[in-house]
Amino acid sequence: MSTKIADLAEKLDLSTKQLKEKILELGFELAPKARTVDDDVAELIFEELSDSDSSDESPADKGDIAEIYDEIIAEEREREIVKSQRKKTAGRDTKKKVTHVDTVVDTSKAVAIPAAITVKEFAEKTGLNAAKIIGELMKNGILANINQQIDFDTAQVLAEDLGIKVKRIREIAGAEELMSGDISNLVKEDDALLLEERPPVVVVMGHVDHGKTQLLDAIRETDVVAKESGGITQHIGAYQVEKKGKLITFLDTPGHEAFTSMRARGAKVTDIAILVVAADEGVKPQTIEAINHAKDAGVPIIVAINKMDKPEANPEKVKGELAEHDLQAEDWGGNTVMVNVSALKGDGIDALLDMILLTAEMEELKSNPNREAIGTVIEAHLDQNLGPVATVLVNTGTLKVMNSVIIGNTYGRIKLMHDHNGKSVKTAGPSTPVLIAGLNVTPKSGDILQVVKSEKIARERAEEIGLINKKETMDQLSATNQVISQVKSEKILKLIVKADAKGSLEAIKQSIARIKDEEVAIKMIHTGVGTVTESDVMMASASKGLIIAFHTDFDSPNVAKTAERENVEVKKYTVIYDLIENIKAILSGLLEPEVIESVIGRAEVKQIFLTKKKEMIIGARVLTGKLKDKAKLRIIRGVTEEDQDNIVGNGEIDTLRKVEAKVKEINEGNECGIKFVGDPIVEVGDILEAVEISEKIRTIA
């Protein structure tokens, strides 16, 4: 069906010539002497009119357009029903088909679209009528033409309303995204129905000699015995055990240092932290460090109170000491899971695994196994037989042999994969650790792996990342500037405080606690007595924090080199007053300055010489004070009911003249010419109030 151009032009209050121009603007072909247009084109004309001339339409006009548009939609639906009935009569199967004007769309398959798409492209890919898409957008308050882009989220909502399934075309992550180590956007899924439960990833931390390795061995041996299989033939830094038919992935790292190293590079790979505390020794310095690491990473903590087989074991004392660090046991009225175990005898291991599964269930850990893999490098080295190899934890998707991958500035094609038992595997799903080979160079711990279509694409992106790395090294900010940059965005200054004695440490903590402000805050992520260790440096690097050393120094020259390499600032003090004043100075620099407005003069408008859209030439007389060139102006027109100045708008003095000469200021009693710039139209008799704006630097008391 078609609509007469003359009738349509009359309804839209346009001439036929104007209407034809609109049709041509939309990209449709139209013969010079055409008298009719398709109804689809008519709908687009209504949309275009609403978009371009909405400010000139009265409510009544808008109502008329809406009525006309509704009539066309109603006619469109009638035509669809007639066509559908005809196809049924002809014996066609329409159970899985939705008919839209001239196109039949199969809704059983999802249509792949990119992150952003034009209305025209969306119509072509989905088989929907462009006019119908624009109509649906209008119903949702979005005015768009066929060339306007819509994002994936909008397209997804639109498709659901129209009975079409869509899926996002996964694009290769940008160099900055891969370098950041933040995988949250890369693993994000648009459709929650695609997500499936995945195994939890667990890291074990604690003080030296409290039994971390022994506990991991006990868990591993329990699983090996249960399966009646041989021992592990190849250590890859991570392994999986099975409990009640469910898998648990353990990162077998050398203490929390490796865990922090990955975090320092931005990687977020762990779901649960197991804190091992010896029942006969209690909380030790490294225990506190491990607690602070886990808290700062934002992962749930399960405490394994180990060495319960010893006669001097005192779990209640351990619980009391942990409570001082905000880890309250469940049987003490808190919410921290604590399990008594003996790694030596294997006691409590089953209970610990049960608690891990329960915590994982509460965390609702899910991912999509049916997509290209995203993973994180746990560790990497150069193998004499295989060349560069890396232990990768698959975060989402399924990694396959012969996949082309990017890993930081490294690339390659996976030639072989080994699981934690040293067995060759073809695929690896979410939360599965595997050793991979086939890379061009050795990657770094914490680097992000992404599967791409070809090795050529992988090589190009890896080279791009390599160039950015070189540039960043050359333009690298100082450590202090990096900390300040981070604090400006988060408004939190993170500190690691080390002191020579407990008394000094307590005095510093109390003094820092008294520094308070509504805009910025201080968070002491770790405090301790002794020298600055490599663990302190790595924690500061991971948290983008600052190390405060009071009457103490580095543990060794290697620690100083690590701090330099990781760009960690270590500030040393011998006087508490200097320490506190320096922290206040850093925080004061982060406060927004106080804006002060002061009235410097008033003038009365005597004459209007020229009026443009946002510019006027005004003659005025200064009543009080003075006017300054470039001063901000308030336009006052009479007074309000509360006897206050009635400010109708604001502007600025662009140019100030006395007779013909430009001047910087005009004093009280003089007349002047003003080139006024602003939105409101100034009238004769208005008062121009000149305001001077200044900023006052704020400091923390």
Predicted local distance difference test score (pLDDT) of residue 179? 53
Strand partners, 366: 197
Predicted local distance difference test score (pLDDT) of residue 224? 46
Q: Is the pLDDT of residue 7 over 50?
A: yes
Residue-wise burial string across 572-591, b where 16 or more C-beta atoms lie within 10 A, e elsewhere? ebeebeebbeebbebbeebb
* Domains of the chain, first to last: 2-82 (no CATH), 93-168 (no CATH), 199-364 (3.40.50.300), 374-466 (2.40.30.10), 479-588 (3.40.50.10050), 594-696 (2.40.30.10)
Predicted local distance difference test score (pLDDT) of residue 225? 38
Residue 472 pLDDT level (bands cut at 50, 70, 90): low
Kindly give the residue spans of alpha helices, DSSP state H, lying in 340-391: 349-363
When pLDDT is averaged across residues 400-429 and rounded to a whole number, the result is 91
Kindly give the residue spans of alpha helices, DSSP state H, lying in 188-304: 212-227, 256-264, 285-297
When pLDDT is averaged across residues 645-657 and rounded to a whole number, the result is 89
Q: Is the pLDDT of residue 488 over 70?
A: no
Per-residue model confidence as pLDDT tens digits over 64-73: 444 544 554 5
More confident residue, 575 or 427: 427
Per-residue model confidence as pLDDT tens digits over 566-621: 888 899 998 888 888 888 888 877 777 777 888 999 999 999 988 887 889 999 99
Predicted local distance difference test score (pLDDT) of residue 674? 92
When pLDDT is averaged across residues 289-312 and rounded to a whole number, the result is 88
> How much of the chain exceeds pLDDT 90, in percent?
26
Per-residue model confidence as pLDDT tens digits over 356-377: 999 999 989 999 898 889 998 8
Residue 163 pLDDT level (bands cut at 50, 70, 90): confident
Residue 121 pLDDT level (bands cut at 50, 70, 90): confident
Angle at which helix 285-297 crosses helix 256-264, to 10 degrees, equals 30
- Reference 635, options 610, 603, 661; nearest CA is 603
Residue 301 pLDDT level (bands cut at 50, 70, 90): very high
Give dist(CA 156, CA 438) in Å, integer: 38
More confident residue, 476 or 501: 501
Q: Is the pLDDT of residue 52 over 50?
A: no
Name the one residue in this structure whose structure tokens are 């049916």. 370
Q: Is the pLDDT of residue 39 over 80?
A: no
Residue 94 pLDDT level (bands cut at 50, 70, 90): very low
Predicted local distance difference test score (pLDDT) of residue 588? 79
Residue 217 pLDDT level (bands cut at 50, 70, 90): confident
Predicted local distance difference test score (pLDDT) of residue 247? 93
Predicted local distance difference test score (pLDDT) of residue 547? 93
Predicted local distance difference test score (pLDDT) of residue 275? 92
Cβ neighbour number for residue 141 with a 10 Å cutoff: 6
Q: Is-contact 531 498, C-beta < 8 A?
A: yes
Predicted local distance difference test score (pLDDT) of residue 213? 82
More confident residue, 444 or 230: 444
> How much of the chain exceeds pLDDT 70, in percent?
77
Q: Is the pLDDT of residue 650 over 80?
A: yes
When pLDDT is averaged across residues 422-437 and rounded to a whole number, the result is 93
When pLDDT is averaged across residues 491-505 and rounded to a whole number, the result is 85
Per-residue model confidence as pLDDT tens digits over 662-701: 899 999 999 999 999 987 788 999 999 999 888 777 777 6
More confident residue, 287 or 477: 287
When pLDDT is averaged across residues 74-100 and rounded to a whole number, the result is 49
Q: What is the signed CA dihedral for 281, 286, 292, 298, rounded to 10 degrees? A: -90
Give dist(CA 382, CA 577) in Å, integer: 50
When pLDDT is averaged across residues 127-156 and rounded to a whole number, the result is 78
More confident residue, 93 or 597: 597
The sign of the dihedral angle between the CA atoms of 425, 429, 433, 439 is positive
Instruction: Give the global pTM.
Output: 0.54
Cβ neighbour number for residue 293 with a 10 Å cutoff: 26
User: Could you give the C-alpha distances from 630 to 250, 624, 658, 674, 686, in angstroms and in order?
Assistant: 66, 18, 15, 10, 19
Q: Supply angle C-alpha 33, 37, 39, rounded to 5.
A: 175
User: Could you give the C-alpha distances from 694 to 100, 602, 626, 633, 697, in angstroms and in order?
Assistant: 62, 19, 17, 15, 10
Q: Supply angle C-alpha 197, 200, 203, rounded to 5.
A: 170
Query: Which of 165-174, 236-245, 644-653 has the weakest average pLDDT?
Result: 165-174
Predicted local distance difference test score (pLDDT) of residue 349? 92
Per-residue model confidence as pLDDT tens digits over 506-558: 888 888 888 887 778 888 889 888 899 988 898 888 888 899 999 899 988 88
Predicted local distance difference test score (pLDDT) of residue 104? 47
Give dist(CA 197, CA 459) in Å, integer: 33
Phi, psi of 368 (to 5 degrees): -105, 110
Q: Is-contact 685 604, C-beta < 8 A?
A: yes
